[in-house]
């Protein structure tokens, strides 16, 4: 997994880089096939900071989470939280299609193995 942290109109300090890396390295817990994570930090005039997290996954084209606020660290935390929800939803959706097939097969097997009531 490749993690890229870039800044637009803002200087990325070692502390911000370490915080962002620490947070985004936990994202593979929610979705296994993440190929690349990009964190883009934007500094705007007026003291507003923006954080955008782009996750390139194997079966999805691109997942994006954005957050804007006054504190960079809070924005990183909120954007990571949004991305965790998106990844959980994508994983459940992926599992849901496969799990439905398996559960349907189990129901069919159990129904065919039950003895009929009038046969005894």
State residue 88 phi and psi, 5-degree precision. -60, -45
Q: Tell me what pLDDT residue 95 has.
A: 79
Measured distance CA(15)–CA(104) in Å, rounded: 51
Q: Tell me what pLDDT residue 54 has.
A: 96
Query: Which CATH number among 3.90.1720.10, 3.40.50.150, 3.30.160.100, 3.30.470.160 corresponds to the domain 2-112?
Result: 3.30.160.100
Cβ atoms 64, 36 nearer than 8 A: no
**With 60 as the cut, is the pLDDT of residue 9 above it?**
yes
**pLDDT digits 0-9 by tens, 21-53:** 999 999 999 888 899 999 999 998 788 999 999
Task: For 58-112, give the DSSP string.
Answer: SSSS-EEEEEEES-HHHHHHHHHHHHHHHHHHHHHHHHHHHHHHHHHHHHHHHHH
- Write the CA distances from 39 to 51, 57, 77, 97, integer angstroms: 7, 15, 12, 31
Q: Tell me what pLDDT residue 47 has.
A: 84
Q: Tell me what pLDDT residue 16 has.
A: 95
Confidence (pTM): 0.76
Q: Tell me what pLDDT residue 58 has.
A: 83
**pLDDT digits 0-9 by tens, 54-107:** 999 887 679 999 999 999 999 999 999 999 999 999 888 877 766 556 666 666
Q: Tell me what pLDDT residue 18 has.
A: 96
> Among residues 1, 68, 80, 91, which one has the least CA distance to residue 39?
80
Measured distance CA(74)–CA(3) in Å, rounded: 19
């Amino acid at each position: 997994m490749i993690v890229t942290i870039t800044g637009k109109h803002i200087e990325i300090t070692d502390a911000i880089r370490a915080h962002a890396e620490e947070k985004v390295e936990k994202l593979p817990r929610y979705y296994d096939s993440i190929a690349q994570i990009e964190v883009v930090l934007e500094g705007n005039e007026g003291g507003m900071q923006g954080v955008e997290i782009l996750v390139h996954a194997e079966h999805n084209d691109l997942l994006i989470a954005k957050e804007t606020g006054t504190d960079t660290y809070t924005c990183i935390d909120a954007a990571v939280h949004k991305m965790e929800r998106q990844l959980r939803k994508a994983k459940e959706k992926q599992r849901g299609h496969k799990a439905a097939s398996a559960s349907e097969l189990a129901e069919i097997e159990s129904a065919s193995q039950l003895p009929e009531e009038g046969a005894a």
